[in-house]
Amino acid sequence: MNVRLNIWKLNVGYFLTELMFFIPIWVPFLSGMGFSMEDIFILEAIFAAVMVVMEIPSGYFADIYGRSTSLAVGAVFSFAGFVYFALFVGFVPFLIGQILLGIGMSFISGAQEALIYDSLIEMKEEDKYRKIQGNMFFYSRMAATISNFTGSILATISMRLPFYVAVVPFFFLMLINFTLVEPKIHKAKVEKLAHFKAILKESFVNNKALRSILFYGGFLLSFTLMTFWLYQKYMSYIDLPILYYGLVIAAANIVSGLGSKFAKEIEDKIGVGFSLIAIPVSLILTWLLFFLFKSQYMLIFIVIASFFWGYLLVVVQNVIQNLVASNKRATVLSIRSMITRLSFVIFSPVLGVLTDKFNVSVAFLAPIIIVFVVGGILVFALKRNRVF
């Protein structure tokens, strides 16, 4: 079978993966069930912890047994998680759903990007990676936009309805992922344990540039995830009607998609170094506004912050892709995701406690201070290790 077909299938896969219709009402839904913000962040931290445990093994699985196989396994577990969300209610059932979804997403994470790149190498079109990756992220943001807007409308009928509808796209994702083709470039046999140890050594010891970008990207992306849930709580804080949650998040997804779609053009113009410095600075300034002001006018800054997320993801992924060989790529990308989730597990409960004890505006102090200190150190490391 032709590996060229992988590209459009992965386009569709990216689209389907983002059709989580309950996302815009996740926080208000759980709050309505009596969950505190700390409880909500604990659920998210458990999801992240599962991915921390599974990220490297799943990436290693993809490098050894194939990215297409990993994506098929991931789709099955993800589908099971969404079925669990649709059928049951309560902390323990949602905990089980988060565990299943975490396992599924860990097998998908990294393998998608690696399969794209290996398919392009076999087609001798690897120079198109940044553009194709940016386009795929753009399509995923468009899917998220549709599901966010639709989900908030469905929620006005029943807060449970978005969970039922979300099962459908993940059924089709399973079907598509079982038809993906493994590129020949990936089929070389490797010594499994030695291969795994070599990747870890390169990522954390030998390749200082790679280590720097892994920690930088993993750390910053974790705070874009944390603040996404804070934005939902902020919307409740300013008494925004539930219907408009989806509109705001949909607009944010459109703009984040634009940030990723045009990442290549922007990076080529302003440079990777300026980009890696400007992104954390811009995020800190945005969060500072949420700390200072309580107003519906602040919703525009949720949209603006999402642009930096979309741009950041593509810039970081491209730097990583350029620093590692094909047979290590899925594992290294999973290491980046693992760092993101581990950072989420460590820091997210702080945001939940601050929100419950004070209010959501005060909670924004945590990412402001932490990213200023740790982000500054990581940017210095990028410069010292000649990433830019």
Decide: residue 385, CB within 10 A, 0-12 exposed, 13-18 middle, 19+ buried: middle
**Helix or strand run (H / E) with residue 39:** helix 37-65
Distance, CA of 251 to CA of 149 (rounded, Å): 9
Domains along the sequence of the chain with CATH = 4-384 (1.20.1250.20)
Q: Which residues of the chain have pLDDT under 50?
A: 188-190
Residue 56 contacts residue 107 (beta carbons within 8 Å):
no
Tokens of 192: 């499994």
Distance, CA of 12 to CA of 17 (rounded, Å): 9
Half-sphere exposure of 119 (CA within 13 A, CB side): 26
Which pLDDT score is estimated for 186? 52
Which residue type, as a one-letter code, is found at position 387?
Answer: V
Measured CA to CA in angstroms, residue 321 lies from 94, 138, 198, 204, 227 at distances of: 35, 19, 17, 16, 27
Distance, CA of 9 to CA of 235 (rounded, Å): 36
Measured CA to CA in angstroms, residue 115 lies from 126, 176, 186, 199, 376 at distances of: 12, 14, 9, 18, 33
Tell how far CA 313 is from the center of its chain: 8
Distance, CA of 357 to CA of 37 (rounded, Å): 10
Residue 178 has φ and ψ, to the nearest 5°, of: -75, -10
Give the closest residue to 19 by CA, choosing from 159, 162, 124. 162
Which pLDDT score is estimated for 189? 45
Which pLDDT score is estimated for 201? 87
Distance, CA of 68 to CA of 330 (rounded, Å): 11
Residue 118 contacts residue 186 (beta carbons within 8 Å):
yes
Which pLDDT score is estimated for 104? 95
Give the closest residue to 174 by CA, choosing from 58, 296, 12. 12
Give the closest residue to 257 by CA, choosing from 148, 141, 149. 141
